[in-house]
């Protein structure tokens, strides 16, 4: 069949038009780039995670979803104030990476995620137990769980070997026994090597977290999510487990007790552990890199935190980072897409490994990481719990006064617990 001249001309025009259209929509033809259907969305994000850890994921996000994220790494110590000041001035970010300490303080500043995007059932199925405190009264999440930082037990392998202690203690009874063996007292009655750093609030880093761990293991929630009622007793019981936790904790600073191992004259517990003056040290998993940096020659390992002998619960305390979109954001759709991408399986796996923290996703926690240290961190993450802190500084002062009043003899454990509960409830009621 012979093609006529008219048909040839039509075909040439059609091909030219097609090429022209491709050039227009790709932005390659000068003067027509503004009509590109693949316009890049630009949003801002603040957090305390190191920028290098997020760089690859944010680049992948831009390539795959055409969402460009401008990330600013902030100091975690004053993150809340910096963020609140920026939001008040109308200059806040679209997306924030925030600590679980800030769930209540930031709740009214974050957009909840619609159930159509992440239902309560989908949230609970996807993310680790303990992160459900992100769910508000309506069952909507105010953010997506990201990285989890459980408390672990750091211990000095050399000091353990010197006392023929083969394994980290699995129960608090074993912990007490190990601490007694590892504590060395000279002829003048001064402790030269401490088995464990508990008892006071002055030179014990993470005293609040350690004490929270002791209480949560008894089944007492400290603060209930739905009502924000302060509860020092396990559900369905009247027993005040905070007073018994106070007794156990403060005995480590009492020279008259067999558990005595930690005087106020010792340096801060993190420093003492690095200097090999302390055999066992409770701290978040996130301190791992810092301990290595302080003393590269320190022969240490991490283990699960001890549990109550014969206890019904196997729990550690932990905090976690979450991803949220601020109410101030003018592009909620892009912000939501960004946090969902960061919390996706492949991206979160790489981020968690780089950060030496645990991912929040159940499907990742069910796997086995490459590092034996991460294996312990993952295992502890599965059983971590936390509680809703309304104001970290103010509640810390209440915990300080409670502990100090007992070891100085100003109050009994029962009196200190009673007064702290009243103070906390007043704080949550205002």
Cα dihedral 241/246/247/251 (nearest 10): 150
If we measure between CA atoms, which residue out of 60, 131, 99 comes closest to residue 338?
60
- Where in the sequence is the domain holding 361, given as residue range(s)? 44-145+322-368
138 with 201, same domain: the answer is no
What integer best gives the mean pLDDT of the chain? 91
Average pLDDT over residues 222-247: 91
Q: Inform me whether the pLDDT recorded for 36 exceeds 70.
A: no
* CATH number of the CATH domain containing 340: 3.40.190.10
Give the rounded distance of the alpha carbon of 82 from its chain centre: 19
Provide the whole-model pTM. Answer: 0.88
So what's the pLDDT on residue 4?
Answer: 57
Q: Is residue 23 part of a domain?
A: no
The contacts of residue 66 (CB under 8 Å, 6+ apart) are: 38, 39, 40, 41
Number of Cβ within a 10 Å radius of residue 379:
16
Q: pLDDT digits over 105-148, tens only?
A: 999 999 999 999 999 999 999 999 999 999 998 999 999 999 99
- Do 201 and 230 reside in the same domain of the chain? yes
Instruction: Report the pLDDT averaged over residues 184-209.
Output: 96
CB 395 within 8 A of CB 430: no
Number of structural domains the chain divides into: 2
All residues at 6 or more sequence positions from 376 whose CB lies less than 8 Å from its CB, including other chains: 152, 302, 303, 304
- Tell me whether residue 391 is in a domain: yes
CA pair distance 368, 375, nearest whole angstrom: 7
Per DSSP, the residues of 288-310 read: HHHHHHH-TT--EEEEPPPB-TT
Judge whether 11 lies within some domain.
Answer: no
Residues 164 and 218 in one domain: yes
Please report whether residue 18 resides in a domain: no
pLDDT of 2 > 60? The answer is no
Same domain, 256 and 339: no
Q: How would residue 22 be classed by pLDDT, with cut points 50, 70 and 90?
A: very low
Are residues 328 and 278 located together in one domain of the fold?
no
pLDDT band of residue 7 (cuts 50, 70, 90) is low
Q: How confident is the model at residue 26 (pLDDT cuts 50, 70, 90)?
A: very low
Residues 138 and 233 in one domain: no
Tell me, yes or no, whether 229 and 311 share the same domain. yes
What mean pLDDT is predicted for residues 210-238?
A: 92
Q: Is the pLDDT of residue 54 over 80?
A: yes
Listed in order, strand segments (DSSP E) in 200-336 are 222-223, 230-231, 278-284, 300-303, 316-326
227 & 354 share domain: no
């Amino acid at each position: 069949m012979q093609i006529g001249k008219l048909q040839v001309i039509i075909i040439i025009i059609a091909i030219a038009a097609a090429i022209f259209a491709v050039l227009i929509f790709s932005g390659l033809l000068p003067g027509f780039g503004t009509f590109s259907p693949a316009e890049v969305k630009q949003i801002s994000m603040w957090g305390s995670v190191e920028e290098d850890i997020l760089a690859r994921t944010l680049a992948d996000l831009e390539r795959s979803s055409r969402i460009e994220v401008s990330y600013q790494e902030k100091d975690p110590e004053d993150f809340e104030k910096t963020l609140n000041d920026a939001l008040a001035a109308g200059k806040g970010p679209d997306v924030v990476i925030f600590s679980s300490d800030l769930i209540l303080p930031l709740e009214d500043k974050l957009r909840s995620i619609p159930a159509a995007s992440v239902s309560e059932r989908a949230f609970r199925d996807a993310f680790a137990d303990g992160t459900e405190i992100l769910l508000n009264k309506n069952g909507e999440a105010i953010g997506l769980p990201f990285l989890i930082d459980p408390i672990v037990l750091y211990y000095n392998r050399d000091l353990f070997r010197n006392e023929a202690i083969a394994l980290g203690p699995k129960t608090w009874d074993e912990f007490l026994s190990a601490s007694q063996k590892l504590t060395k007292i000279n002829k003048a009655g001064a402790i030269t090597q401490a088995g464990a750093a508990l008892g006071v609030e002055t030179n014990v880093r993470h005293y609040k977290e350690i004490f929270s761990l002791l209480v949560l293991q008894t089944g007492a929630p400290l603060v209930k999510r739905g009502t924000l009622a302060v509860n020092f007793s396990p559900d369905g019981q009247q027993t005040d487990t905070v007073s018994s936790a106070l007794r156990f904790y403060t005995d480590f600073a009492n020279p008259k007790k067999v558990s005595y191992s930690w005087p106020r004259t010792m340096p801060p517990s993190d420093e003492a552990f690095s200097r090999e003056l302390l055999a066992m040290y409770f701290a978040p998993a996130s301190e791992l890199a810092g301990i290595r940096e302080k003393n590269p020659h320190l022969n240490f390992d991490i283990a699960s935190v001890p549990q109550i002998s014969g206890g019904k619960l196997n729990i550690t305390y932990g905090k976690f980072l979450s991803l949220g979109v601020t109410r101030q954001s003018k592009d909620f759709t892009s912000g939501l897409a960004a946090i969902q991408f960061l919390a996706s399986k492949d991206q979160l796996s790489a981020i968690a490994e780089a950060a030496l923290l645990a991912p929040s996703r159940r499907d990742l926690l069910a796997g086995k990481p490459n590092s034996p240290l991460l294996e312990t961190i993952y295992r502890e993450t599965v059983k971590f719990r936390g509680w809703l802190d309304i104001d970290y500084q103010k509640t810390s002062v209440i915990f300080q006064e409670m502990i100090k009043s007992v070891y100085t003899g100003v109050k009994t454990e029962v009196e200190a617990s009673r007064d702290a509960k009243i103070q906390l409830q007043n704080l949550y009621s205002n």
